Amino acid sequence: MKRSSKFFLFTLLALAAAFFPNAAPGFFNAEWQQEAGEPADGQEPEPEYSEEEYNAWEAADKETDPEKRGAKLLEFIEKYPKSKLLSYIEAAYKTLLFECSNSKNYQQLEPLAEKWLILHPNDIQTLAYIAEAAEKLEHDRKCVESLEAIYALEPSPTMAKNILHVYSKMKDKDKQREWTEKMFQMPEFDADFMMRFEFVQEYTEAKNYAKAAEYAKLTLKAAENLKQPDAQTREQMRKVRRACHHLIGMNAYEAGNFNEAIRSLKLAIRAEKYGEGYYYIAMSLWKQDKVEEAMLYFARAEMHRGEVAAQAKDKLEQLYKALHNNTTIGIDKIYRKAKEALLD
């Protein structure tokens, strides 16, 4: 695909990590007394966790190296799965992931998030961290797998577009078509004519003109759905309309459907006057034995001085001579009529 668009990977997610205080309470914090109520006079409150648990938490909390801190937090979870400090440990790990993302420490964010995903396999924020890190590290396959996992949990048009972007980057044509077809069914993309036009270009380059014409029709339909385009988009639409109508016209011409060819090529010329359009309208008219009209279009094609100008001149002279005793005397009248038409 030739289309280039800036990849805003997580704009749609609006995923803010939910962070809890990651400083554990004091070892004998009164807030952590037993549910049975206040202790009897003169009694020490029983702690909700052991000194060993607290020391393990404190060691993890004071660790400055992200990788080592993550390892210690995970070790705590494995060793003390029912600890009253577990909510603090989990909050600390989420904070660690956020810090790695915020500091663009993607080399450590990716493995840390992957380890957290094992414990929380459907956590969208964790999947988003993996996708973010993988995208920055150019681990495209891992990135798109994470994005697809997010889409499976929370489908959205923007996420589908992000997935398509990665598959386009990977040049995975089958997946590009799969996701584009999904997006064609989403009303949010009804006016995205360039998404359809990419397939017009692809199939044209592959010389599959019938398929290219099919997508050209979809492109034109989408362009009609676009409301209030700006000046730059209008200019882009003009060029796309010219290309699509020309392609549809040429496909009809090759199939011998000359009426359709003339109709489509005239629409292409309406978007932008060009010699090749005039030439193949002339050829279509000639094949229908409409010689007088064909000569006018051959003259117009020649006057545009494009690649077909010489062919158009030869064809015009052949037709004119056949009607005028093998002479071109008076052919200037054809050119005058053609010039007047061009000024319309």
pLDDT at residue number 207: 94
* Backbone torsions φ then ψ of 65, nearest 5 degrees: -80, 120
pLDDT at residue number 48: 79
Token duo for residue 74: 């995970």
Buried b (16+ CB within 10 A) or exposed e, 314-338: ebbbebbeeeeeeeeeebeebbeeb
DSSP string, 257-317: -HHHHHHHHHHHHHHS--HHHHHHHHHHHHHTT-HHHHHHHHHHHHHTTSTTHHHHHHHHH
Indicate the pTM of the whole model: 0.73
pLDDT band with cut points at 50, 70 and 90 for residue 305: confident
Q: Find out whether 55 and 47 touch, Cβ atoms under 8 Å.
A: no
- Residues 168-186 have pLDDT tens digits of 999 999 999 999 999 999 9
pLDDT at residue number 247: 97
Token duo for residue 282: 């002339």
pLDDT band with cut points at 50, 70 and 90 for residue 340: confident
- Residues 192-204 have pLDDT tens digits of 999 999 999 999 9
